[in-house]
A and B are shown apart, each in its own frame.
Chain A
Amino acid sequence: MPVVSRESDLLRKLQQGNESAWEEAFSLLYPCVFHAARHPLAGLTPTEAEDVAIETLTGLVAKIHTAQTWENLRGLAVTMAARRAISEKRKSTARKRGSGQVQSLESLQEESENTFEAPEQLLQRISPLELQELSLILKEGISSLDPEQARLIQDFVVNGLTYHELSEKYDTPSGTIGVQLSRGLKKIRQRLEQNPFLLKEILSYLR
Chain B
Amino acid sequence: MTDDLFTILALKVLAGEASAEEQKRLEDYLSTDSDRAGEFKELEDTLSILQATAPLDAALAAAEPALPQYRMQELRTALRREFPSRESKRKGPWWKPTWLQSGHYAAAALAILAFALTLLNHRAGIEFGTYQDSLMRDGTPDLELRDLSVHAFRTDDVFQRWKDSRFGPQYRIWFDEARDLVVVVEAGGLLSPNLTRTYPLAEQAAQREQFLRELIKKLEAGK
Contacts and interface: CB of A to CB of B under 8 A. Distances in A.
Contacts of B17: 162-164
Given A27-B67, A36-B59, A118-B48, 12 more contacts: A17-B83, A26-B67, A30-B67, A32-B59, A41-B55, A61-B83, A81-B59, A82-B59, A123-B56, A135-B60, A178-B7, A202-B49
A40 B43 contact: no
B11 A119 contact: no
A188 to B, nearest CB: 6
A192 B49 contact: yes
B33 interface: no
Contacts, number: 164
Contacts of B49: 119, 122, 134, 138, 192, 202, 206
B56 A36 contact: yes
Interface string A124-152: 00100001001100110000000000000
Interface residues of B, number: 48
A165 B44 CA distance: 21
Contacts of A79: 56
A26 B15 contact: no
A7 interface: no
A139 B12 contact: no
Contact of B56 (A22, A39, A175): A39
A179 B67 contact: no
Interface stretch (B72-80, B121-129, B195-203): B72-80
Contacts of B54: 138, 154, 157-158
A186 B38 CA distance: 13
A50 B46 contact: no
A94 interface: no
B12 to A, nearest CB: 7
B63 interface: yes
B7 A206 contact: no
B15 A156 contact: yes
Contacts of B62: 31-32, 34-35
Interface residues of A, number: 67
A192 B17 CA distance: 26
4 nearest A-B residue pairs (beta carbon): A17-B83, A35-B59, A30-B67, A178-B8
A117 B156 CA distance: 44
Nearest to A60: B78
A20 B83 CA distance: 13
A182 interface: yes
Interface of A: 16-17, 19-20, 22-23, 26-27, 30-36, 38-41, 50, 54, 57-59, 61-62, 64, 74-75, 78-79, 81-82, 117-120, 122-123, 126, 131, 134-135, 138-139, 153-154, 156-158, 162-164, 174-175, 178-179, 181-182, 185-186, 188-189, 192, 202-203, 206
A126 B46 CA distance: 15
A30 B58 contact: no
A189 B46 contact: yes
A32 B71 CA distance: 16
A162 B64 contact: no
A27 B67 CA distance: 6
Nearest to A139: B57
Contact of A30 (B56, B66, B78): B66
B56 A82 contact: yes
Contacts of A23: 72
A35 B7 CA distance: 32
21 contacts: A19-B79, A20-B155, A26-B72, A26-B75, A31-B63, A32-B62, A33-B59, A35-B62, A36-B56, A39-B55, A41-B55, A61-B82, A78-B59, A120-B52, A126-B52, A138-B50, A153-B50, A158-B58, A174-B8, A179-B4, A182-B43
